[in-house]
């Protein structure tokens, strides 16, 4: 799982509807992992399920990105303030719009 944190101005963590956490990546990662169920023991191969809506996916990283959207975290760009629902979307924005 890629850590998309460490941006300038993000030392206090991510904005979770007005609640700032000290280690945004750690807290968000914990929430996401607690929201996944491994269904591999059900004889269906490696399969993961979102505990919030029941969505299933073989790709754990894609389902983790999906689960993150249930928490309504806002990931703001430290350069322009644009907000994104997921860390990968913010990272993509930064790498394409704010090249050095």
- Structure token digits, residue 29: 């990662």
pLDDT of residue 42: 57
Give the tens place of pLDDT for each residue, 3-49: 444 433 344 444 433 333 334 556 778 888 899 999 886 566 789 99
User: How many of the other CB atoms lie within 10 Å of CB of 64?
Assistant: 21
Cα–Cα distances in Å, from 44 out to 24, 48, 49, 77, 88?
A: 34, 10, 12, 40, 28
| Cβ–Cβ under 8 Å, residues 79 and 94 | yes
Which one is predicted more confidently, 96 or 24? 96
The DSSP call for residue 74 is B
Nearest to 60 by CA among 91, 90, 85, 29: 29
């Amino acid at each position: 799982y890629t850590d998309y944190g460490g941006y300038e101005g993000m030392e206090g963590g991510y904005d979770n509807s007005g609640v700032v956490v000290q280690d945004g990546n750690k807290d968000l990662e914990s929430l996401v992992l607690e929201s996944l169920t491994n269904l591999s023991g059900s004889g269906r191969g490696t399969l993961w399920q979102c505990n919030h809506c029941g969505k299933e996916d073989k790709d754990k990283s894609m389902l983790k990105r999906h689960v993150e959207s249930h928490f309504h975290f806002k990931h703001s760009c430290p350069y322009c303030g644009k907000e994104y629902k997921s860390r990968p979307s913010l990272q993509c924005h930064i790498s394409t719009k704010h090249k050095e």
